[in-house]
Structure 1
Amino acid sequence: MSRETDWRMLGNTNKTDCNAIFRFFSRIGITGDHVRKIGENSLSALEYWCPDLASEIEATALGADLPVWYLASLNARTEILSTKATSYLGECSTAIYAAPDINMSKTIQTWDWHDVLAPCGLMTELQNKKGMRFNLFTEFGMLGKIGVNSAGLGLHFNILHHISDNDSGGVPVHAVARRILEEATTIEEAIALAFAAQVSASSVLSIFSHRAERCRAVSIELSPFRTEIIYPQQNDWLLHTIHFLASELVSGERTTDDTTYKRYEHLKIVASDMKNKGIIESAAAMCGPEGEQSPICFYLIVHNLIPSVGKLY
């Protein structure tokens, strides 16, 4: 297969993903003009915070033969969705075991997103200007999401909802995740990058490092109001679903998904059973004795429009 064919396939996939998400925005009552405004504002915010990533969006749009605002809006998906009060049932659940006496942190996450909006996942390996490699699990056209880098640092991603979320178009939270994976070699560097980003939508980035001497994992809760840090608590486990844990942010909680609390309590119960197991066994232990009926497993049709299936990644 030629390089030209590769880029043509990439462009077609980007167009498919953009069209799907724009139809979804329309179905939930977000107008095209509003989508474009937030996308363009988010791109401007990104250009100020990290010009290289803004340039990557522009270059990807050019290569895919798409308007720049299409790719800008795709990457600002969370920022656009945050303007709606509704959250969807069964979003992501994350668990990180970061005990100081183990060689490497053990992590697992369910990635729950609408299948028809991301028909093709993307696993890719990139290298930054200093030669550090980073591997991403993301979607075509998206700067980043979940991943690890060769400095021994990794990242999980969960959406959050806060009353301070707004339509101003801040730095895309997916771009924050990407920059951390591309640049950060320590948890402290990851925290500094996250705190420097002015966001307009909320998310939590759970960071882990197997080379850290002391703190080996944190969850960074991002919101327009403020950014807060959550440390491992229950027997060296760091657990997160899609509600705020920081006391400074709990009062502004805006999720309408009551399954997030059930899933968090479920993780607390099964956490100890996930230790010292391979990935398949850990996934089974994460579900617990309920199996596919576990609160973390998600099979739902939203308004009979978008079929959604939970995955373990």
Structure 2
Amino acid sequence: MIIHEWSAEGAGPQEEGRRFGARWSPQLTAARDSYVRLFAQSGVPAERARAIADGCRAMIETHAPEIADEFVGIADGSGLSSTDVHLLTARTEILARMTPSMECSTIVHVPEAASAPRTLQTWDWHETLSNETVVRRLRSASGTSVVTFCEFGQPAKIGVNDRGLGLHFNILHHRSDGSQTGVPVHVLARMVLDRASTVADAVEIARSVPLAASSVLTVAAFDGQTAEAAAVEVSPAGVAVLPVPRGHTLAHTNHFLDETLAAGEYSPYKTTSVPRYQCLTDAADLARTVDDRERALAFGAIPDAPISVRARPEEPEHLRWETKLTVALDVEVGALSFAAAAPADVVDAEWRRVGVLGGRNPVR
């Protein structure tokens, strides 16, 4: 997977969107074509996908107008239609309950002492999709500086801001998915990164918007004295918060941990969520590792660890997943550290670090 980098210049949302769309028009067009194919393979008719995307657009315009303006600019700059841009933004909502997804393993440790949380995540996605992605450095309408890894056409996924807050992102499945029109979960992630400084802020934002699909946002924050983290499970049926006490570690994969939401779990397909979760919890002490690359290497050294997902060639194209990214957050200085590789392959991969605009970006 190729991971591009892009930095905003500080203009308004629509102008920045136009600049981004013009620069990355080929990648945005390729992403649109790939997802249209995936929707068809997953049994979602084109007209249904477009209707969901347009419904999501209305929700974004209501709850995050500054992000809606950015999408207007992306459409203008790239030459894609507004609906096409929103197809990419709302891919989780379009695929809700229609296709199995084995996406991501996350772990976060909150130290007892006055130091920042230590995190790690894998991003697992379709082998044939999103082979070009981007780490975006931007400044939100509120003035917050954000750096986020995402697919082309998404406003955010995994990221950190200059307010001392970072966010990991895993997909979940609930029987309420697709039951209403809502703000796309990737837009919710961006709203949290743009606006939040604390776990409480992130929870408040998550509770403030209607959703059409489920995910878990694992939020970590550090104000220079106190570290905090929580897994915020979101779905159309409600929001649950699982805090991480100081001195403890929490793992999350792709099944609900909250008992109430877990009762509505929608898992019609075979999934590796439980084995990956067990792998992380069994090796929880490794999350205490201070250096982010050493942390990734430690998890990568676990023999036959299921968190390093390998594509299975015997499966149909739309059912082949692989781990495309291993990423850690530094919420103290506002930076992402990552490799385009599974944990087992980090030892041979380039380990990169990208900080927020105007922030400190130390190299370790």
Q: TM-score, normalised by structure 2?
A: 0.79
Residue in structure 2 matching 1:198, options 198, 204, 210: 210
2: distance between equivalents of 1:47 and 1:20? 26
Residue 228 (str. 1) matches residue 240 (str. 2): yes
Counterpart of 2:85 in structure 1 is 71
Say if 1:42 and 1:172, in contact at 8 Å, map to a contact too: yes
Residue equivalent to 1:106: 118
- Asked if the contact 1:95/1:109 (under 8 Å) is kept, the reply is yes
Paired letter, 1:131: G
**How many residue pairs align between the two structures?**
307
Q: 1:209-228 residue pairs with structure 2 within 5 A?
A: 209-211=221-223, 216-228=228-240
Aligned to 2:272: 259
Deviates more, 1:224-233 or 1:210-219: 210-219
2:316 is equivalent to residue 304 of structure 1: yes
Q: How much does 1:9 deviate?
A: 4.0
Q: Which residue of 280, 288, 298 maps to 1:285? A: 298
Q: Deviations over 1:137-195 (max 9, x none)?
A: 11221111010000110000000000111153311000000011011122111111111
Q: What is the match of residue 26 of structure 2?
A: 12
* 1:1-313 equivalence runs, <5 A: 8-84=22-98, 86-89=99-102, 91-166=103-178, 168-211=180-223, 216-232=228-244, 235-255=247-267, 256-290=269-303, 293-301=304-312, 303-306=315-318, 307-310=320-323, 311-313=325-327
Q: Secondary structure at the match of 1:135?
A: strand
In terms of mean alpha carbon deviation, does 214-223 or 171-180 score higher?
214-223
The structure that is helix-richer by fraction is: 1
Q: Aligned letter for 2:168?
A: H
Percent identity, aligned pairs only, is 31
What SS class does the counterpart of residue 116 from structure 1 fall into?
coil
- Partner SS state of residue 109, structure 1: strand
Q: Which runs of 5+ in 2 are unaligned?
A: 1-15, 328-364
- Equivalent pair of 1:271/1:286 in contact (CA under 8 Å): no
- Contact 2:25–2:78 (CA<8 Å) still a contact in 1? yes
SS at match of 1:218: strand
Q: 1:156 to 1:145 in 2, by over 3 A?
A: same
SS of alignment partner, residue 192 of structure 1: helix
Q: Distance in 2 between matches of 1:70 and 1:101?
A: 47
* Alignment check: 8 A CA contact 1:41 1:168 kept: no
Q: Is the 8 A contact 2:217 2:231 kept in 1?
A: yes
For 1:272 and 1:87, how far apart are their aligned partners in 2? 31
CA-based RMSD of the aligned residues comes to 2.2
Are 2:19 and 2:77, in contact at CA under 8 Å, matched by a contact in 1? Answer: no
SS of equivalent to 1:216:
strand
* 2: CA distance, partners of 1:130 / 1:5: 19
The answer (yes or no) to whether the contact 1:240–1:264 under 8 Å persists in 2 is yes
Q: Are 1:162 and 1:252, in contact at CA under 8 Å, matched by a contact in 2?
A: yes
Query: How many angstroms does 1:132 deviate by?
Result: 2.1
Q: Distance in 2 between matches of 1:54 and 1:176?
A: 12
Gapped regions of structure 1 (runs ≥ 5): none
Q: Is the 8 A contact 1:49 1:197 kept in 2?
A: yes
AA in 2 matched with 1:166: G
Query: For the Cα contact (< 8 Å) 1:100–1:216, is it kept in 2?
Result: no
Contact 1:88 1:257 in 2 (8 A): no
After the TM superposition, which of the residue ranges 92-101 and 231-240 deviates more from structure 2?
A: 231-240
Per mean C-alpha deviation after superposition, the further-off stretch among 216-225 and 5-14 is 5-14
Q: TM-score, normalised by structure 1?
A: 0.91
Contact 2:142 2:195 in 1 (8 A): no
